[in-house]
Chains A and B, each alone.
Chain A
Amino acid sequence: MLSELRTSKLSPQKYYELYMRTFDELRKLEIFFKDETKRGRTNADLYELVQHAGNILPRLYLLCTVASVYIKSKEAPAKDILKDLVEMSRGVQHPVRGLFLRSYLSQISRDKLPDIGSEYEGEGGTVMDAVEFVLQNFTEMNKLWVRMQHQGPAREKERREKERRELRDLVGKNLHVLSQLEGVDLDMYKDVVLPRVLEQVVNCKDEIAQYYLMDCIIQVFPDDYHLQTLETLLGACPQLQPTVDVKTVMSQLMERLSNYAASSSEVLPDLLHVEAFAKLSSAVVKVIEAQPDMPLVGAVSLHVALLTFTLRVHVDRLDYVDQVLGACVKKLEGKGKVKDSKATKQIVALLSAPLEKYNDVVTVLRLTNYSKVMEHLDYETNKVMAVVIIQSIMKNNTSISSSEKVDALFELLKELIKDSEGAPSMDEIDEDDFMEEQNLVARLVHMLVNKDHEEMFKILTTARKHFGQGGPKRLKFTLPPLIFAALKLVRCLQGHDAGDEALVSPKKIFQFLHQTVEALSTVPAPELALRLYLQCAEAASDCSLEPVAYEFFTQAFLLYEEEIADSRAQVTAMQLIIGTLQRTYVFGVENRDTLTHKATGYSAKLLKKPDQCRAVYACSHLFWLEEDGGTQDGERVLLCLKRALRIANAAQQMSSVTRGSSGPLTLFVEILNKYLYYFEKGIPQVTSNLIQGLLELIGTELQSENTAQDRAVDAFFASTRRYIQFQKQKGDDLAERYSSIQVVSPP
């Protein structure tokens, strides 16, 4: 059977099966040998005898088997026997056969090594001997393993490499054995084991072996050993073959160390003492220098691994984090916008890691190298990253509370906020995407807050400066939220008279507001600007700043006159102007007159008659301000209502001429309701006679043949009459006044 093991024809898998069967048989043989010794044969004899076997391979297997019994008997020192075996095994230089043979040797010798505390210590040797034995076996096995790479024709290289990988654990086992030895303490490891192993690893110059063995060392030996030998271990990395995936090796190591640090709080001081971070970061640099052909993605991945380590172990050392980013910046220097998508992905990973770890963009803003790394992202990816940053702020409710932070943040977001040189032109950008982005930036504005009024104003002016460089397309998204933030600030300051010397006051904010809204009207966004001017006007009125409020109203009117031509837009604009004016109490008589005159004038000039009518009767409210000190001019109210009535009449006649029937009477019913409103307020000019007259007019018109049936008007009129009835029945003062009004029910 042993001679079968001499074959060269089997693949490693098959050879392994054969080996296992043989192994089992050899165990039985071992028992036989043991029995033999009981029957009088000495181990030395047996040892001599088996060497007569014809071929070297079976001979050695037998020898090892006998040696197993021999060592156990302690008739000779373990160290001598082991030395003998490991030397003699050199006789088998065929890689596969040699590997399995030595593996057998390793297996049977495992429990017989003269380790500290083992029964074989002392006479049998010391742990040094055990280490020596294992190291030698390891070295020889590695040599055999590496030799496999070069056997056979080049075209079969892939198959050979696959076979090598199947055998790798045989080699790695030795390292396991070393790690299990009690006697291999930190000093032994540092002085003997690691240097020897690393020497073999580096010198074999074989990519597969180096990668596997480095990984093995890291996995097999304890973390505190790695910590204490960090420099040596890392020192080997630049010396490895360029094709070895050293970044994975180093990442493994860093991951282990970070897990180690996380496992107990006592570890951290060790890490600091040993200056793990410094060693790791300089190792990264050395590796990159040693491999000038390393692709960019490799270099960046190394930095990502180091950053992950730093964030896990030294999370509060922002300076370390910044250092890692800085090292990456140096590597990226001169490369401009990175085009390789894999490298870009790694850069994104590098940038996202601190965001996710700290969940606080403000902390990330303190990393001076962050923006420099971001510069190297191509346009699209940079924007994606910027969006990620904003989303992080929104999700974590982070406040950006100073103008410096705003500056730093907007620097990171600059591709979103303004057009840079490398950006594609406006035509190429998808409209919907653009809107979504800009709306996101708008939402961000609400996160720029500080309770201190001066700082808040600084924040607003800083943001305004940045947004101002964004070009016309962006302004209508970015400026409105700034304006409302400013209006909120005005409210905070209302009532506090800080005087003209203060750095921030309502007046100063209104100046800011004026310029900002003005920028919008030139975009052009006149309707939006009009609305915002009116908001500012009302706010100024609340602050009792008459000239400021007047100025805002003027601007609103100017926009109306010059920029708003669409009739529907005009109707809404008038509603807003009248509505705002109705609420402002700050104006003196002259100013108020000018503005109301303008309002009523424009109302009467709206295109469609019904719109005119409605706007004019809305104007009536301009002459009846409810709150103290407000104008209450019954004459002008009535004038408006009468004018509205005339317009309604005209509308009716027009409708009658053009369509052959009078138009809907809804306008009349609306005006009737307005009469009732003022009647109840007690305006003397709105008499019950007037109301009666209108009631009857409507009633007649509704029954006239010329009038088209309109359910809505009927219902409206009916509910109005119901309302009057209700008021009459209430039995209070109002009811008194209503008493003279007769409600005629339709037949």
Chain B
Amino acid sequence: MVLVLALGDLHIPHRAPDLPAKFKSMLVPGKIQHIISPGNLCIKEVHDYLKSLCPDLHVTRGEYDEDLRYPESEQLKIGEFKLGICHGHQVIPWGDLDSLAMLQRQLDVDILITGHTHQFKAYKHEGGVIINPGSATGAYSSISYDINPSFVLMDIDGLRVVVYVYELIDGEVKVDKIDFKKPQTAA
């Protein structure tokens, strides 16, 4: 059982002062094995905070990120799953699932974590799963209206991943879960 936290588009401090208090109290160091962020943190303080929750932190570059050294995309393997990360402003049209599927084929990954639209999405298609954890702070986006803060926690166990999505709706944290199974690769 490997816990992977996926959260992005915090846009601190331009669009939000901080993570919602209810989220902060849930995110405790030592419980999570990996953190993946598609980007737009945007400042070093946020990076350091995430690093304090878990030293294995992977961040890709969002267009407002202060640190220019984050990569445009990244691939990593966790358990049986190949994961890919990319912020998504590079994929036009923004938020278009078919175009994101193309990126997924290109990166050759089972799960693609992406952002930019600030809208939570978990989309299963022929090539795998696309997950957008939304904006962890509910930051303003020109693309989406009325955004609730959200983030995703993935529990990877063998060929199965359970995706828990946490959303802050009217001051309460609501959790939903989605199951994905990776087909056994033919020999």
Q: Which residues of A contact B (CB under 8 A)?
A: 394, 435-436, 439-440, 442-447, 477, 480-481, 484, 487-488, 491, 531, 535, 538-539, 542, 572, 575-576, 578-580, 582-583, 618, 621, 626, 666, 669-670, 673-674, 677, 680, 712, 715-716, 719-720, 722-723, 726-727
Contact = CB atoms under 8 A, between A and B. Distances in A.
B45 interface: yes
Contacts of A442: 13-14
Given A442-B14, A481-B13, A572-B63, A722 B92 contact: no
Interface in B123-176: 126-127, 140, 142-143, 145
Interface stretch (B1-9, B25-33, B98-106): B98-106
A398 B155 CA distance: 37
A716 B127 contact: no
B114 to A, nearest CB: 14
Nearest to A531: B63
Nearest to B108: A715
B142 A481 contact: no
Contact of B14 (A481, A626, A726): A481
A481 B63 contact: no
B106 A484 contact: no
B17 A680 contact: no
B108 A719 contact: yes
B140 A487 contact: yes
Given A439-B13, A442-B14, A572-B63, A539 B108 contact: no
Contacts, number: 94
Contacts of B143: 583
Interface of B: 12-18, 43, 45, 63-64, 89-90, 92-94, 98-99, 101-102, 105-106, 108, 126-127, 140, 142-143, 145
B89 A484 contact: no
B87 to A, nearest CB: 10
23 contacts: A436-B45, A442-B14, A443-B18, A480-B14, A481-B14, A484-B140, A491-B145, A535-B142, A538-B142, A572-B63, A572-B89, A579-B94, A580-B142, A583-B94, A583-B143, A673-B102, A677-B98, A680-B98, A716-B108, A719-B105, A723-B105, A723-B126, A726-B126
Nearest to B92: A618
A270 B2 CA distance: 66
Contacts of A576: 63, 89
Contacts of A444: 17
A699 to B, nearest CB: 16
B14 A484 contact: yes
A716 B105 contact: yes
Given A576-B63, A715-B108, A394 B93 contact: no
Nearest to A715: B108
Given A443-B17, A484-B140, A488-B140, A720 B105 contact: yes
Contacts of B92: 575, 578-579, 582, 618, 621
B17 A447 contact: yes
B127 A722 contact: yes
Contact of A443 (B13, B63, B94, B106): B13
A202 B81 CA distance: 86
A723 B102 CA distance: 10
A88 B121 CA distance: 99
Contact of B18 (A394, A579, A666, A670): A394
A673 B106 CA distance: 10
Contact of B17 (A394, A480, A542, A578): A394
Contacts of A531: 63-64
A576 B45 CA distance: 26
A716 B106 contact: yes
B15 A484 contact: yes
A487 B141 CA distance: 10
A582 B63 CA distance: 17
A722 B89 CA distance: 26
A579 B140 contact: no
Given A440-B13, A538-B142, 11 more contacts: A435-B43, A439-B45, A446-B13, A531-B64, A572-B89, A576-B89, A673-B102, A712-B108, A716-B108, A719-B127, A722-B126
A446 B16 contact: yes
A566 B73 CA distance: 20
B93 A582 contact: yes
A67 to B, nearest CB: 73
Report the 3 A-B pairs with minimum CB-CB distance, sorted nearest first.
Answer: A442-B13, A443-B17, A719-B105
A450 to B, nearest CB: 17
B105 to A, nearest CB: 4
Nearest to B12: A443
A488 B106 CA distance: 36
A677 B142 CA distance: 25
A583 B145 contact: no
B102 A677 contact: yes
Among B12, B43, B99, B106, which residue has the most Cβ atoms of chain A within 10 A? B106
Contact of A666 (B12, B90, B99, B106): B106
A477 B43 CA distance: 11
Nearest to A539: B142
A666 B15 CA distance: 37
A442 B64 CA distance: 15
B159 to A, nearest CB: 19
Contact of A669 (B45, B106, B127): B106
Nearest to B46: A439
A487 B11 CA distance: 15
Given A538-B142, A716-B108, A719-B108, A446 B90 contact: no
A437 B178 CA distance: 41
Contacts of B99: 677
A538 B15 CA distance: 17
A481 B127 contact: no
A338 to B, nearest CB: 32
Contacts of B102: 670, 673-674, 677
A502 to B, nearest CB: 22
A746 to B, nearest CB: 16
Contacts of A439: 13, 43, 45
A621 B102 CA distance: 15
Nearest to B64: A531
A186 B38 CA distance: 76
Contacts of A394: 17-18
Contacts of B101: 723
Contacts of B145: 491
A716 B104 CA distance: 9
Given A715-B108, A719-B108, A722-B127, A621 B14 contact: no
A531 B18 CA distance: 22
Contacts of A535: 142
A447 B18 CA distance: 11
Contacts of A677: 98-99, 102
A235 to B, nearest CB: 52
A444 B12 CA distance: 11
Contacts of A443: 12-13, 17-18
A489 to B, nearest CB: 11
Contacts of B18: 394, 443
A595 B122 CA distance: 34
Among B63, B99, B142, B145, which residue has the most Cβ atoms of chain A within 10 A? B142
Nearest to A581: B92
A480 B139 CA distance: 13
A118 to B, nearest CB: 65
Contacts of A481: 13-15
A720 B127 CA distance: 9
Contacts of A715: 108
Contacts of A487: 140, 142
Contacts of A488: 140
Contacts of A720: 105
Nearest to A535: B142
A719 B109 CA distance: 10
Among B126, B143, B145, which residue has the most Cβ atoms of chain A within 10 A? B126
B95 to A, nearest CB: 9
Given A484-B140, A575-B92, A576-B63, A673 B45 contact: no
A618 B90 CA distance: 9
